[in-house]
Amino acid sequence: MRKPIIAGNWKMFKLISDAVATATALKPLVANANHCEVVIAPPFTALKAVADRLEGSNIHVSAQDLAPEIKHGAHTGEVCGDMIKDAGCSHVIIGHSERRAMYGDTDAVVNRKIRAALHFGLTPIVCIGETLDERDAGNAEKVVATQLAQSLAELTASEVIRIVLAYEPVWAIGTGRTATPEQAQQMHAFIRQWIAQQFDATAASDLRILYGGSVKPENISDLMRAADIDGALVGGASLEAESFSRIVNYEW
């Protein structure tokens, strides 16, 4: 059985005080959510304060990125995986489409970051997904397969099981335009099949694949009813404790 994950990506929002206040408000609202794992990803500056506040709770803390290097050194502006762990994180988002589009995170970089995260015992939440042009040209599955092949290059099946994938069609992120449960299911099934072919059946059946792209309290239940959707990566609707808790506590 794959335990669902509901993860909130706070992107470049919230000063430390606001992040801690939101985490504090969220804690009682999701305290009984045993049906899923709850993860929030504050900005780097707030990680430690939020993790301290959530200690002993059922909410995991994630970074939004990490350095591809595993040794400390002269890498100005980068944050190493063990520093992220030291701040209280268990997860890290890798290859978000905003990083791919704005900060040069290629699939090769994503591959190095996944290896770094696994090296430090962090759970990578690896984002993949096509643009609208790519979908309209009928290339969505091809694009996703290429991202998977390059991002997961030379990983073993047992390493792949430690990863969480997030299918996030770029055209659905922050646009209010959600993929239909059928569109999302189709791609999730394709991804699972791809994993079975490239790795093995156990990796494919154990791997959790989240959907991301304008998930809200109003559409989460329909998405979660799809057989191959194992949770959600939520941007905008995770910024308020109340709306994020309604997503976590979806009807199932």
Give the catalytic positions in this structure. Answer: 96, 168
121 binds ligand PEP (CB under 6 A): no
HEC secondary structure over 15-73: CHHHHHHHHHHHHHHCCCCCCCEEEEECCHHHHHHHHHHHCCCCEEEEECCCCCCCCCC
Complex with ligand PEP: residue 64 or 80, whichever CB lies closer: 64
185 binds ligand PEP (CB under 6 A): no
213 binds ligand PEP (CB under 6 A): yes
Please answer whether residues 65 and 116 qualify as being in contact, where contact means their C-beta atoms are separated by less than 8 angstroms: no
CB atoms inside a 10 Å sphere around CB 138: 8
174 binds ligand PEP (CB under 6 A): yes
Instruction: Tell me the residue number closest to ligand PEP, measured at CB.
Output: 235
Q: How many residues does the chain have?
A: 252
Q: Between residue 64 and residue 83, which ones bind ligand PEP under the rule CB under 6 A?
A: none
User: Least distance from C-beta 75 to ligand PEP, angstroms?
Assistant: 25
Complex with ligand PEP: residue 199 or 211, whichever CB lies closer: 211
User: Least distance from C-beta 52 to ligand PEP, angstroms?
Assistant: 25
Complex with ligand PEP: residue 114 or 233, whichever CB lies closer: 233
Per 3-state DSSP, what percentage of the chain is helix, strand, and coil (rounded to 5)? Answer: 45, 15, 40
- Pick from 212, 219, 230, 241 the residue near ligand PEP by CB under 6 A: 212
Complex with ligand PEP: residue 111 or 214, whichever CB lies closer: 214
Closest by Cα among 15, 106, 114, 98 to 66: 114
The tokens describing 86, both together, are 């030291």
Which parts of this chain interact with ligand PEP (CB under 6 A)?
A: 9, 168, 173-174, 212-215, 233-237
